[in-house]
Amino acid sequence: YGLKVMRFPGVLEATARNKFGAAVRGKLSLNKTTLQAYKLFRDEAIVERNKNVLLDFLGQLGHSEHRERFGVPSHNYFWHCSGYQVVNFIKNFKTATEQMQPGLLTSYINKQMAKGNLTEWTVVLANVQDKNGKVRPPFGTGAETLIIGPSVRGNNLGRDSGFYIANNAAVSGPSYESLDLTDEEYQKALDMTIQEWEKAKAEGKTKRKTKPTAPFANCAKAVRKKGNGLLLLFNMDFGDTNPLVFTYVLSLPYLADKDDVTIAYEYMGNPNAFKVLENDD
């Protein structure tokens, strides 16, 4: 089969055999990826269950921490947990996002933990600041009561659909992926980002005219220690009246090739598709 889309290990679209042409072998892995659960079930029972799973998970982690970036307080809530706790959360939280299959994610994390990777996680519950001061009713975790500003995303589907789909298949942005870094790591990621931008600018490969002031996501993941993962949690506002919709994002660090062989999928693909992926990187 020829693959038209190869962006995620679990989601591959096939094209006609006669359009395939010459094939080459390739591998896909979750190494250094950002996985966003942008497609969610609209069913009220599933929404309610996911909310309870998430709040119970946070309750088990205890009281949240507050952090600063170069002395400036963050609005978000922070916790620490083990990779095993993240695996259990993923197993219990139900999404409709095809590339977020629980078996795929938990298999990758478990196999990496066996090698000493992804054993420690930072959990961040985003508290999005709205210019109009819009907030949701407080949520109780059993350990504390949280006031959460929702992440506003348009729903690509109508109200009659059984799903929520965030616009542009995006829940979070690059700035969230550096939230777990220390100030020293953050500065290192920012320096890498500026170097990357300057190189791209000199080669005419970027439209950005101003120097970046925050790390690119790939630089944050490159700096993050391989033992550390980042779980981002969001309360979503899809433009309806339901305040209970939650979702999550996984940000996985860069692991050296010798560590990446723990889980990778081999397939046959068209060489042109590989060029597209290389250009995207």
Average pLDDT for runs of 10 along the chain of length 281: 46 54 68 94 96 98 97 97 98 92 93 94 94 79 95 76 87 95 98 97 93 97 97 94 94 80 60 49 41
Whole-number average pLDDT of the chain: 86
For residues 46 and 56, give the distance between their C-alpha atoms in angstroms, rounded to a whole number.
Answer: 15
> How far is the CA of 171 from the CAs of 20, 40, 50, 248, in angstroms?
33, 11, 16, 8
pTM above 0.75, yes or no: yes
Q: What separation, in Å, do the N-terminal and C-terminal C-alpha atoms of the chain show?
A: 24
Phi and psi at residue 262, to the nearest 5°: -65, -30
pLDDT at residue 269, as a whole number: 60
pLDDT at residue 19, as a whole number: 53
Phi and psi at residue 183, to the nearest 5°: -60, -40
Closest alpha carbon to 3 in 196, 280, 273: 273
Residue with tokens 């500026």: 194
What are the residue boundaries of the structural domains of the chain, listed by start?
A: 1-29+264-281, 37-180+224-260
Token readout for 80 is 């620490």
